[in-house]
Each structure stands twice: as structure tokens, then as C-alpha cells.
Amino acid sequence: MKVYYLKNISKEFNYYKSLGEKTINQLSDNELNWIPNEASNSIATIVKHLSGNMLSRWTNPFNEDGEKSWRNRDYEFINEENSKNAVLNDWNTGWNCFFDTFSQLSETDLNTIIYIRNQGHTVLEALNRQLAHYAYHVGQLVFIGKLIKNTDWKSLSIPKGKSIDYNASKFSNKKSKTHFTEDL
């Protein structure tokens, strides 16, 4: 069951990574830096935060706390102008760190205790925590992207008004055990 968990959660992380990338790819430099209001963050800032979180949590997690002394979380939330290339560099740096560590995990690691701010988590709990955190922020990216692009937004899921067609296509296939991302 644990091996299945690792395969499944890998697909989930990759799914949210792809949603973020598909959002970033639809936007210009200026759009990536657009801030809805003073209390909010731009997509570039949210990506900077995600990258900082991933680097902190997944660099040497078995020997060091997941909140590294070198991390400057407050800086992550300073809205700065960044090019699309810089945003993608932050994005890829964070995800590469996560997936480099993730790819080395074995089923026996899932019950190992690691720490985030001195709070013990099994690796399984830490993965679940991070999946929820990343999905939360990727949802923000998608929402801001949709606000910016308005009617020019290219849907990342079932487009409005297309549920009947989508369901008809799905139900025309034989039942199968597949992950929902396999046909995206």
C-alpha cells in the first residue's frame, strides 16, 4: 500500500505543478507581477514563496528541520517585479528540489519522523501537508490568472458549459482503474 501511496501522491504533485505551469505560460511579465490589491500577492510573489518553502522543507529533511535558518520567509512575500524567466526559474528550482528528494524516498521512509519548526511529522504526514499547501497556492495562481485573462483564459479543466460533453466522453469508455491525470 505504501508504494501505491508514493506513486499516487507523485501524480498529485505533478498535477499541481502542471496547473501552475499552464497558468504561468498564459501570462506576460506584467501579468505575472499584477497585484489585485495591497493585501494580496502577485503570481511572481506566490511562486517565490512556494520555491522558498520547497527548498527549506526538502533540503536534507532527514537531518535538519524543514524550516531552515537560511530561509527568509518574510522576503518571499515582498512583491518585486520579476520577468517570466525569473518566475519560471524560481518555480523550477523549488520543484526540482522537492522531486529530487521525493524520488529518493522509499516506503520505509514514510514512517520516519522529520521536523518542521520542531514539530514532528512522519514523512507521510509531511507529504500530505505539503500537497495541501502547494495546491492552496497553485489555486491562487490559477484564480489570479483567470482574473487577469478574463475571456482569453484557456481552461485548465472542464470548460464552462462543457460538462455534459466531457461526461459523455468519459462514460463512453469502459470502466478502468486509472489516475484522473492520465488523460489530461
Domains in the chain: boundaries: 2-157
The set of cell numbers assigned to 50 is 512556494
The set of cell numbers assigned to 86 is 525569473
Q: Which of 57, 55, 35 is nearest to 46 (CA)?
A: 35
pLDDT in tens, 67-115: 999 999 999 999 999 999 999 999 999 999 999 999 999 999 999 999 9
Supply the pLDDT for residue 149.
97
pLDDT in tens, 124-140: 999 999 999 999 999 99
Report the alpha-carbon distance of residue 9 to residue 13 in Å, rounded: 6
Supply the pLDDT for residue 2.
64
- Please state the pTM of the whole predicted model: 0.93
2-157 CATH pick, 1.20.120.450, 1.10.510.10, 3.40.309.10, 3.40.190.10: 1.20.120.450
